[in-house]
Chain A
Amino acid sequence: MATAVHKKEPVLLNRRRNAVRVGRQRATWLSTHTLIYIISALILLIQFFPLIWALLTSLMTSAETTATPAALFPAHPTLTSYLQVFQGELGHYYINSIIAATTSAALTMIMATCAAYAFARLRFRGKRFLLVFVLFFSLFPALVQVIPIYQILQNLHLIGTIGALILPYTVFGLPLAVLILMAFFQEVPGELEEAAIVDGLSRFTAFIRIVLPMVVPGLFAAAVIVFVNNWNEYLFALNYTTGNTYTLPVGIVTISQTEFTTNFSLLSAATILSVIPLVVLILLLERRIVSGLTAGALKG
């Protein structure tokens, strides 16, 4: 409608008006852009604030970290704390975290891939009921399960071993992984599989050879999300581990809460070391993580 009105106006007037409009647009364009970058800078500062502070502290000497008021910048940046982390118990916790998080993420992925395929591609009775069951469990409070799972692990003689973490982590990662992978399986066109079956492959072989390679991005997203959840888990680790099987989150808190011997520089170095791999992973995989999270949470 608006353009039709313009066409009727004299050309000269129209041109002058356009020039004014372009000038005004450029001015607002510039100011909106400055505004966008100011807001961006603010967001970056607020979101990364604790990380920046931990990074600065990790480079301080332990004398600097207990100065009052606190030193804002390390006067003589040093990497001693990082070396200490690797030599001390935190290094041990680091290895525990890696073993627990990777093993359980791998087990979760194997089990969840099969289940997600069945939900997405196979016809069977009771599918809707089972799907709601899985979804229900994904929201079920872990806090409530702490005691009974403790008793199960005790009967299996797993308390105090890494196995006490691998077992619950594997199971608690399942619902989310199933939901994410299901969304990805549903996007694979069915004809490909049918063609493979006509060519003489069994349903299961077709799944392994044809369908699975097509959902690699989904497998990737799900694996990252499951891994991050395991890596950060605290409640089970706190309850089911003892001194030498602590994972990083528990180890870091334990060290920080014994007030008298707290070495903030060491603590920050450990924090940085536990967070940096994830930050790098996020920067590289931002898009895939977003698509994976949303696939699981909304399409489920």
Chain B
Amino acid sequence: MLIRAARARKNPIRGSEERLAWFMLAPVLVALIALGIYPALNTLWLSFQQGGFFGVGTTFAGLAEYTRLFHDSQFWGALGFSLLFSLITVAGQMLFGTALALFANLNFAGRWLVRAAIIFPWAIPTSTNSVIWAYMFNDQYGLVNSLLIHLGLMNPAHPLNWLGSGQLATALIYIMAIWKANSLVALLALAGLQSIPGEVYEAARVDGASPWQALWAITLPLLRATLVVTLILRTIESLQAFDLISAFTNGAPGNATQNLGLYIYVQIQQFGDFPYGSSIATILMITTMFFIVLYLRALYRPALK
């Protein structure tokens, strides 16, 4: 450090470059610290408080809110929902997203339309999309029941109340989440596929490998790095899910579809209980942090070697 600093002082060009760098970085760093680091520490601090209304009049309480969490069955329900949701939807997204990417990487006329279709679910607002889906599965005015009735598969007198059943609603949330985020997996995998040189496949064909063998022996192993990074990114985001469920079932029926995000929101907005909301948020932050560290290691290990 000292030697480098001395060198920087001796070399005026190097010194001015360093000054320029800090000058250009300053706005971003200040912004990220002000609205990133400070709020995170503040959340942690708030989680050790108690009471108050919308953050006014809280008192220090040590680990009281965490003991409360431990005995709160709603919290455990929400945590369970979040973890299961993450596990199932990310698996589905990886599977379908990769399949979509492999397909969109084939060479055929009209491929651009398929690619645009693949991007589409990413671009539609999650909340707006959930509203449309809720309408599609509305028991009275919904498209799905209407289709089933028109096909003669459902008795019009007894329409199925999709969102009224905890299990059906949960299944629909899984399907919707997989549909919505296939896009990102497919986009990243598609870029990974394009970086595999064509000669590799040429060589495989000369050696007599079938396309199916080439997929397992060449494509997927070479795509591994991309897929690992995507997997971690998706896991982090699925743990943070909020809009998707909030605008679809809002946790109903009962609390059957309530995840951590919704529970935090309920504590903050309905009860104005900032300390309790913060303690749930802290648990979520720690869980996410674990995956962020994994992500950074997956991303930087190849570079560090």
The interface of chain A, by Cβ under 8 A from chain B, is 1-2, 33, 36-37, 39-40, 43-44, 46-48, 50-51, 53-54, 57, 65-72, 111-112, 114-115, 117-119, 122-125, 130, 132-137, 139-152, 167-168, 170-172, 174-175, 178, 203-204, 228, 231-232, 234-235, 238-239, 248-250, 252-253, 256-257, 264, 267-268, 271, 274-275, 278-279, 281-283, 286, 289-291, 293-294, 297-298, 300
Contact = CB atoms under 8 A, between A and B. Distances in A.
A207 to B, nearest CB: 9
A67 B277 CA distance: 42
Nearest to A132: B296
B35 A152 contact: yes
| List of 9 A-B pairs having minimum Cβ-Cβ separation, nearest first | A294-B191, A148-B39, A69-B146, A70-B146, A232-B125, A148-B42, A124-B21, A114-B24, A122-B21
Contacts of B284: 141, 143-144
B146 A53 contact: no
Interface residues of B, number: 107
B55 A147 contact: yes
B191 A50 contact: no
Contacts of B169: none
B108 A148 contact: no
B119 A69 contact: no
Interface of A is mostly: helix
Contacts of A249: 125-128, 243
B125 A130 contact: no
Nearest to A111: B27
B99 to A, nearest CB: 10
B206 interface: yes
A171 to B, nearest CB: 4
Given A275-B124, A294-B191, A148 B141 contact: no
A234 to B, nearest CB: 4
Given A47-B117, A125-B18, A290-B191, 9 more contacts: A40-B110, A50-B136, A123-B21, A141-B240, A148-B43, A235-B242, A283-B116, A291-B191, A293-B184
B220 to A, nearest CB: 17
Interface in B255-293: 260-261, 264, 268-269, 274, 277-278, 281-282, 284-285, 288, 292
**Most chain-B Cβ atoms within 10 A of its Cβ — which of A33, A54, A146?**
A146
B106 A248 contact: no
A272 B146 CA distance: 22
Given A145-B35, A274-B128, A286-B116, A140 B40 contact: yes
Given A143-B261, A143-B281, A174-B32, A115 B118 contact: no
B55 A151 contact: yes
A147 B271 CA distance: 13
A33 B236 CA distance: 38
Contact of B269 (A33, A171, A239, A264): A239
B75 interface: no
B131 A256 contact: yes
A148 B38 contact: yes
17 contacts: A43-B117, A112-B28, A125-B18, A132-B296, A139-B288, A144-B40, A145-B39, A147-B43, A147-B274, A148-B40, A232-B123, A234-B246, A234-B247, A275-B125, A297-B229, A297-B233, A298-B192
B4 A125 contact: yes
A51 B142 CA distance: 14
A167 B35 contact: yes
Contacts of A46: 179
Contact of B128 (A70, A151, A248): A248
A65 B141 contact: yes
A118 B24 contact: yes
B64 interface: no
Contacts of A72: 143, 146-147, 150
A139 B292 contact: yes
A174 B136 contact: no
